[in-house]
Amino acid sequence: MLDVIGSLVSALKAYSAKLPTVVPLSVMPGGIKPALEVVAAYEQTVFRFRTQGGTSAFRRFNELFLESLEAFEGGRLLSAIQPLLTVLDHLDRMRREKEIAVTPAEEKRMSEYRATLNRILPGNQPELEGAGKGL
């Protein structure tokens, strides 16, 4: 499970690194879409999970991974990140409720994946420190 998330997070991180910081919609009305081979690899990872998920406790994540894939295909980076953060939230809840056993190493990986996804989201730059805290 964590290998799947890691692969998807890696693809999102690589894609986000290639994007300019700001692109006016008048210049690129359709946005910037990832290369077809990158989308194919992302899709292959999602479908590998779907075929291996079977009837496990993780099967509920199929829709979230598909939602992330569809957003990624359309070049909607932020919409591709949210479902993965939701999966990580569910895994954390499952760990707390003892539905799944998570080793300290796996817990660290989950934390690293969450941190990576959060760094991609807007609003994490130091120049925005204090933004949104009111006057």
Q: For the segment 104-133, what is each residue's pLDDT rounded down to a tens digit?
A: 999 999 999 999 999 998 766 544 444 444
pLDDT in tens, 32-46: 789 999 999 999 999
Residue 131 lies in a domain: no
Looking at the structure of the chain, the number of domains it has is 1
Please state, in angstroms and rounded to a whole number, the distance separating the CA atoms of residues 15 and 37. 12
> Which domain range does residue 75 map to?
2-21+31-123
Within a domain: residue 61?
yes
**pLDDT computed for residue 86 by the predictor:** 96
Whole-model pTM: value is 0.83
Q: Give the residue among 68, 101, 70, 71 at the shortest CA–CA distance from 85.
A: 68
What is the C-alpha separation between 69 and 61, in angstroms, rounded?
12
The answer as to whether 133 is a domain residue is no
Note whether residue 110 is domain-resident: yes
| CB 110 within 8 Å of CB 2 | yes
